[in-house]
Amino acid sequence: MNYLSTRGDRAPRGFSDILLEGLAPDGGLYLPDHYPAVDRARLARWRALYRGGAAGGYADLAFEILSLYIGDIAPAELRALVDKTYTAATYGSDAITPLRQLEPGLYIQALSNGPTLAFKDMAMQLLGQLFEYELARRGEHLNILGATSGDTGSAAEYAMRGKRGVHVFMLSPNGRMSPFQQAQMYSLVDANIHNIAIDGVFDDCQDIVKAVSNDLDFKRRWKIGTVNSINWARLLAQVVYYFAGYFQATADDGQPVSFAVPSGNFGNVCAGHVARMMGLPIAQLVVATNENDVLDEFFRSGRYRVRGSAETYETSSPSMDISKASNFERFVFDLLGRDAARTAQLFGPGLARDGGFTLAADDRARIAGFGFVSGKSSHADRLATIRDTWNRHQDMIDTHTADGLMVARQYLQPGVPMVVLETALPVKFAATIREALGCDPLRPAALQGIEDRPKRVTVMPADARQVMDYIAANAQG
């Protein structure tokens, strides 16, 4: 399998060539040169593999799917990496992403039982294994630099902790994450994990990452890399749980299923798109946004409009507070029949100049053929959905999952099971749970008292120079 750029670069690259990369050199995103087709016979075989009852069914399934896209890691070695990643010890159950029924035909699939209690663990844990493997193979090392306001940073740290060849420098806004999130990140005391709390807001952290990354000499000297959501390996890892969800929600392989996906950067639901392109019988991909409705606006009107910071709202589902959807270009490339020249026109310099684009009517008409529909929710909707789900089903869901469930209900179809992806556990967003239910969220036993553990964090002013000095003093290489 080779990979190409959505903006036209077709220099042949294998999986390992793009694993440690961000954007393609032409500014596009990497995609496989085709989607391997999964026919009925293969689907039946995978179902048996996953549902075989033995522990490790998820890892078996993951190995099958990843093998179709990874041609340059020997099967036995890929098998070992996958087996180390998808264990009941890490994800709390053999199902890894267990499905539970809310009502007949309406299900929740838990993607949030990994170490940081958010769905980003599903991919990031695999990325940690792949990075360590690939860096060792090349005899190289990498210093990962990132900014986080919560989920991404902690998922990256828990995936990379103790991994050889990798250091993580994660900037977070000092005192601005929930006490639980701060405790989750800052209580990691591994030598290769460096928490840097910046006196400022998330945007200050992001500006520093940009400033450091734009200093090409520094970047090269210190082998600075990232783990952001446009990384193809992350997306690929996420494809697996759509198949796992499908097998749990159905008894036979012709049955269509819909998925409702709380969306921000379009990474999660883009993996659903890939699964559908491979032939998984997905009826609808329901894109659920919060008040930051870039994606909902697009699917309703054909207009993609990037928001400025004044129009990007802080909401109670903060992991979906985005101004543009960084993976969205991948879907538009497929929608346009993989026309790289037109994709480059829409997403290249024109996007920065015009702040967006509107699809032509005939392009828009093709969206339905890809299964996409959308909706948005407000803070009041989330509170009502959390309350209703608790009162009627004694099921406590987090704010992001509430966005998904609220929108899912608008698209229920008779005879088509609807699977809502649970992207975080409620304990991460305790303040909103208290507002909705008047009680504290449930907390997994392993995380009792996490706020009282010793912390390892360095506080710094919002000054890129000081961050660079810190990296130079602590980085590998």
Helix (H, G, I), strand (E, B) or coil at 93: coil
Mind telling me the catalytic residues? 120
CA dihedral (228, 230, 233, 235) in degrees, to 10, reads: 110
Q: How far is the CB of 321 from ligand PLP (least distance, A)?
A: 10
Regarding 263 and contact with ligand PLP (CB under 6 A), the answer is yes
DSSP state, residue 209: H
Crossing angle for the helix pair 179-186 and 151-160, to the nearest 10 degrees:
20
- Of the candidate residues 85, 265, 315, 377, the single one contacting ligand PLP (CB under 6 A): 265
Q: Measured from the CB atom, is 100 or 221 closer to ligand PLP? A: 100
Regarding 389 and contact with ligand PLP (CB under 6 A), the answer is no
Q: How far is the CB of 320 from ligand PLP (least distance, A)?
A: 5
Secondary-structure percent of the chain, ordered helix, strand, coil, rounded to 5: 50, 15, 35
Distance CA 46, CA 44 (A): 5
Phi, then psi, of 435 in degrees rounded to 5: -65, -40
CA dihedral (279, 280, 281, 283) in degrees, to 10, reads: -100
DSSP state, residue 309: G
Between β-strands 106-110 and 418-422, what pairing exists: parallel, antiparallel or unpaired?
parallel
Q: How far is the CB of 468 from ligand PLP (least distance, A)?
A: 28
In angstroms, the Cα distances linking 368 to 96, 335, 363, 371, 372 are 31, 10, 10, 5, 6
Residues 414-433, one symbol each (x = binds ligand PLP by CB under 6 A, - = not), give ---------xx---------
Tell me the chain's radius of gyration from C-alpha atoms. Answer: 21
Q: Measured from the CB atom, is 195 or 231 closer to ligand PLP? A: 231
Long-range CB contacts for residues 36-45, cutoff 8 Å, separation at least 24 = 36/1, 36/68, 36/69, 36/278, 37/278, 37/279, 38/278, 38/279, 38/280, 39/279, 40/253, 40/254, 43/253, 43/279, 43/280, 44/253
Residues 108-147, one symbol each (x = binds ligand PLP by CB under 6 A, - = not), give ----------xxx---------------------------
Please check whether residue 268 is in contact with residue 423, taking contact to mean a CB–CB distance below 8 angstroms.
yes
Q: Measured from the CB atom, is 58 or 266 closer to ligand PLP? A: 266
- Segment contacting ligand PLP by CB under 6 A, of 27-35, 41-49, 260-268, 386-394: 260-268
Please check whether residue 276 is in contact with residue 285, taking contact to mean a CB–CB distance below 8 angstroms.
yes
Q: How far is the CB of 117 from ligand PLP (least distance, A)?
A: 9
Regarding 266 and contact with ligand PLP (CB under 6 A), the answer is yes
Distance CA 40, CA 252 (A): 10
Q: How far is the CB of 319 from ligand PLP (least distance, A)?
A: 3
Regarding 267 and contact with ligand PLP (CB under 6 A), the answer is yes
Q: Measured from the CB atom, is 147 or 467 closer to ligand PLP? A: 147
| Chain centroid to CA 385 | 23
Between β-strands 303-305 and 356-358, what pairing exists: parallel, antiparallel or unpaired?
antiparallel
Q: Measured from the CB atom, is 149 or 192 closer to ligand PLP? A: 149
> Site residues for ligand PLP, window 27-86 (CB under 6 A)?
none
Q: How far is the CB of 267 from ligand PLP (least distance, A)?
A: 3
Q: Measured from the CB atom, is 156 or 166 closer to ligand PLP? A: 156
- Of the candidate residues 38, 209, 320, 475, the single one contacting ligand PLP (CB under 6 A): 320
Regarding 347 and contact with ligand PLP (CB under 6 A), the answer is no
> Site residues for ligand PLP, window 213-242 (CB under 6 A)?
229
Q: How far is the CB of 18 from ligand PLP (least distance, A)?
A: 19
Regarding 159 and contact with ligand PLP (CB under 6 A), the answer is no
Regarding 319 and contact with ligand PLP (CB under 6 A), the answer is yes
Helix (H, G, I), strand (E, B) or coil at 421: strand
- Of the candidate residues 32, 57, 128, 264, the single one contacting ligand PLP (CB under 6 A): 264
Q: How far is the CB of 259 from ligand PLP (least distance, A)?
A: 13
Q: Measured from the CB atom, is 16 or 312 closer to ligand PLP? A: 312
Site size with ligand PLP, rule: CB under 6 A: 17
- Token digits of residue 373: 């529909």
Please check whether residue 241 is in contact with residue 111, taking contact to mean a CB–CB distance below 8 angstroms.
yes
Regarding 284 and contact with ligand PLP (CB under 6 A), the answer is no
Q: How far is the CB of 29 from ligand PLP (least distance, A)?
A: 13
Cα angle 282, 283, 288 (rounded to 5 degrees) comes to 90
Regarding 262 and contact with ligand PLP (CB under 6 A), the answer is yes
Nearest position to ligand PLP, beta carbon: 267
- Positions that interact with ligand PLP (CB under 6 A): 118-120, 151, 229, 262-268, 319-320, 400, 423-424
